[in-house]
Amino acid sequence: MTLFLTFAYGLIFGSFLNVLIYRLPRGENIAYPPSHCTSCNTKLKPRDLIPVFSFLFLGGKCRYCGEKIHWCYPVTEIVNALGWMTIIYYYGLSARGVAGCFLFSLALVIGQIDLEHYLIPDSLVITLLAGGVVYHFFSQEMGILNRILGLAVGFAIPFLLAVVSRGGMGGGDIKLTAAMGFWLGFPGVFYALFVGALVGSITGILLIALKRKKRRDPIPFGPFLVLGFLVIFFFRDQFVQWYWNLF
Ligand SMILES: [Zn+2]
């Protein structure tokens, strides 16, 4: 029953994530105006706003103007719901379980916005950091000094990389890894950067090999950073074991 409710809440929260993904990078207010079709501006009724089901029922089109609704919307809702359900299944309604859901959703929003707009809104980084401060008081995972060290390292490594590569990493990436560092401490933040850089470069090479991207095309790093972050938050022990077996 808990899992079913988690799934339902995950869907509903997922449609709020869609609002963030659409409005934050456009500098729009996230609460006002109420949900409307982005094409014809018609205000949507509650029956148009049921996660996933409205999309299916309407055949992926706006009820009022017939404009196609992007499939990203229901997919975000479903992925968020599945993610929440899996996390609560493993951790229950513990501090770690709730924090895991929070991070999973935030990662979805940051990743999608960066992928589409090549930017990471400061408000999301601040939300991530504030969540980390709250989490610190509910968990005995590590001391505050370790978290601050993680924050400093999370700032310093990408900052140095940005200086050396002259702009390979953006300012948004640097702030993001600093906030991640507060959550993961040291060396956790280093592991997360490692995973992000590894998956990011493999993806970059594949995209170039498949001729989907040219060598000079920018590839947003945010999606890979949040992926590395989630991997280390949930699977740190497994990662450490794998990492040391490499050498
Ligand atoms: Zn419309």
Instruction: Judge if 48 and 77 occupy the same domain.
Output: yes
Domain finish residue from 38, 60, 92: 92
Residues 191-247 have pLDDT tens digits of 999 999 999 999 989 988 888 877 777 789 999 999 999 999 999 999 999 988 887
Which domain does 186 fall in, by range?
94-247
> For 84-91, which contacts have Cβ atoms below 8 Å and span 24 or more sequence positions?
84/6, 84/7, 84/9, 84/10, 84/13, 85/3, 85/6, 85/7, 85/10, 87/234, 88/2, 88/3, 88/6, 89/3
Instruction: Judge if 13 and 24 occupy the same domain.
Output: yes
Instruction: Judge if 114 and 198 occupy the same domain.
Output: yes
Check residue 212 and give its pLDDT: 81
Region of 211 (left: φ > 0; alpha: ψ -120 to 50; beta: rest) is: left
Count of domains forming the chain: 2
Residues 171-193 have pLDDT tens digits of 899 999 999 999 999 999 999 99
Instruction: Judge if 73 and 47 occupy the same domain.
Output: yes
Instruction: Judge if 131 and 24 occupy the same domain.
Output: no
Ligand 1 geometric centre to CA of 105 (Å) = 27
Ligand 1 geometric centre to CA of 38 (Å) = 7
Instruction: Judge if 125 and 222 occupy the same domain.
Output: yes
Ligand 1 geometric centre to CA of 205 (Å) = 39
Domain finish residue from 59, 92, 125: 92
Instruction: Judge if 1 and 81 occupy the same domain.
Output: yes
Ligand 1 geometric centre to CA of 66 (Å) = 6
Domain finish residue from 61, 92, 123: 92
Instruction: Judge if 138 and 244 occupy the same domain.
Output: yes
Instruction: Judge if 166 and 55 occupy the same domain.
Output: no
